[in-house]
Structure 1
Amino acid sequence: MAELGLNEHHQNEVITYMRFARSKRGLRLKTVDSCFQDLKESRLVEETFTADEVSEVLSGLQALVHSEVESELINTAHTNVLVLRQLFSQAEKWYLKLQTDIAELENRELLEQVAEFEKAEFTSSNKKPSMDLKPKLAPLNEGGTAELLNKEILRLQEENEKLKSRLKTIEIQATNVLDEKSKLERALQDLQLDQENQKDFLIKAKVLRDLENTIAVLKSELQKTLNDKTENQKSLEESLATAKHDLLRVQEQLSMAEKELEKKFQQTAAYRNMKEILTKKNDQIKDLRKRLAKYEPED
């Protein structure tokens, strides 16, 4: 846009700084001129001087000029540091990191360009600065858009960390619930196997009851046969004894089966409890999935 390649606002800032530097430089030059003028008025009052006197005068003048020039150079360096500090402070408000290229400070082409710009701005135009060419820097220690933005960024970062921590906690809880669900599913499978065993037991119990009924019928028939046929009593008694042994064996089996059935029925009550626990855990898992769905991005 302009001779220095800056926008209007930044170019005006450069002009303001150059005006400040010119005024300081002018004051220092006046001070150096006054050194020479004081020397002329105080020391150069005689018509002739010896070599030692001339050397002494020049040494004193050299010391004065050296002190003034050194003071100006130091002040200029410190002033430049303050300018950089203002720029860097404003940049940090927006989380920017500015860099400087020291090598460019000795670029003769750029230095000549700045000299021509200064000459054109302060020599040719001879204009006095207007008030609108001196915009103030944004306040560094006061509130404003940058400060509010910084606070909002910090708040969002804290909220993001809280959400990450909460999501991690929910993931751990979900993992624990899934593990517990797996255990309950395995327990349910075991109970289902026990249920199948109970069905087999019931079938065997039915067979035993049928056998008991058969034995009862056989006993009745045997008693009738004993009454009707005495000659076959011995054979019938042996059959009866065998039937009694069978009955005792069957009764023993039935007793064991009844004990096992009682034990299985007790496990059936545990099965109901486990099923209720599994139902509750499934509800918890569904609830956790719904909660997790709020934090997962949509497809």
Structure 2
Amino acid sequence: MADIGCNDHHQNEVINYMRFARSKRMLRLKTVDSCFEELQDSRLVDETFTVDEVRDMLDGLHAVVRGEVEMELINTAHTNVLLLRQLFFQAEKFYLRLQTDISELENRELLEQIAEFEKTDFKVSQKLNQESNKPKLAPLNEGGVSELLNKEIAKLQEENEKLKAKMRTLESQAMNVLEEKSKTQKALEDLRKVEGDKQLSAQSKEISCLEDTVAALKEDYNRSLTINAASQKDLQENLVSTKHELLRVQEQLSMAEKELDKKFQQTAAYRNMKEILAKKNEQIKETRKRLQKYEPDQ
């Protein structure tokens, strides 16, 4: 059995189309034969004809036959367009783009091969696989296209699962960073609280000492008033001097507090905490950018 280069299914489709084309061709040939028969029955009744009569009969026959042939050629072209239209629609469903080579339509070797196929195998192929229902177009290279689509779907699903896993990892990392930031902030607040308590304790002791001194001076002043009124002026001067000293000491305490705060900010623990917070903030910003890349709506 001859082979035209297609699989069995497509070869059967070619045979069906050739059967259709041959039936249309035979019908048109019968129409041409009837034109000649009509001419013979209607015009060729006399034994002799003039040249004008013969020319008139040939012109009429020519017009009729030419019209029939032209109609058949037009109909064949339109039929081929409909066949191509079915194939293109079928290919578009699978996102395929078919291409045609017009030059191959005049390939003498292929035309002779098709003619030989029609002569030798057409009659034999008519007996094979007669379908009771109207045949429907099957996908071109059905197994390959379906397999390709399934592979593409599986690939997309695999990539989707990878993206989901990556997203879960990023979310876990973001939660860990936030937790570490919270712990770092709490540790820094505790450190500040401890340093602040120490500073307040020292200041309280100094103020307490100063208050005790002032109280003692007041007590001495009152006692001195009762003992010797003449020394009242000296005691007042001493009191004023003591007040000035108290203001000076308070100013020194204020300066000492500022210096202590400045020294605290220059301590290694404070700098380390500050650097850790800066790094954690940068990690959080980077993680948010990466999360926004995969889920911009969130």
Q: TM-score, normalised by structure 1?
A: 0.58
Q: Which residue of 2 aligns with 1:236?
A: 235
Q: What is the correspondence of 1:137-286 to structure 2 with a 5 Å cutoff?
A: 137-138=136-137, 203-224=202-223, 234-246=233-245, 249=247
Q: How far 1:240 moved relative to its partner? A: 2.2
Task: Name the residue aligned to 1:33.
Answer: 33
Once residues 84 and 92 of structure 1 are traced to their aligned partners in structure 2, the CA distance between those partners, rounded to angstroms, is: 12
2:57 is aligned to 57
3-12 vs 95-104, which moves further:
95-104
Q: Is the 8 A contact 1:222 1:236 kept in 2?
A: yes
SS of equivalent to 2:3: coil
Query: What is the RMSD computed on CA atoms of the aligned residues?
Result: 4.9
Tell me, which stretches of 5 or more residues in structure 1 are unaligned? 140-145, 161-166, 257-284
- Which residue does 1:13 correspond to in 2? 13
**Aligned residue for 1:83?**
83
Is the CA contact (8 Å cut-off) linking 1:2 and 1:8 kept in structure 2? no
Q: CA deviation at 1:236?
A: 3.3
Find the counterpart in structure 1 of residue 113 from structure 2. Answer: 113
- Give the total of aligned pairs: 227
Distance 2:12 2:30 in 1: 27
Q: Which 5+ residue runs of structure 2 have no aligned equivalent?
A: 139-145, 161-166, 255-283
In 2, the alpha carbon distance for the partners of 1:194 and 1:106 equals: 96
The residue matched to 1:47 in structure 2 has which SS? coil
- C-alpha distance in structure 2 between counterparts of 1:115 and 1:134, whole Å: 28
Residues 55, 206 of structure 1: alpha-carbon distance in 2 compared, 3 angstrom cutoff: farther
Structure 1 pair 106–202 and aligned structure 2 pair: CA distance change class (3 A): farther
What is the match of residue 66 of structure 2?
Answer: 66
Deviations 1:42-91 (A, max 9, x none): 21222222221111111101001001101111111111122122222222
- Quick one: distance in 2 between partners of 1:126 and 1:93? 30
Say if 1:65 and 1:73 are closer, same or farther in 2 by CA, change over 3 A. Answer: same
- Find the aligned partners of 1:240 and 1:25 in 2 and give their Cα distance: 138
The DSSP-based 3-state class of the residue aligned with 1:131 is coil
Rounded to whole Å, the distance in 2 between the matches of 1:102 and 1:134 is: 33
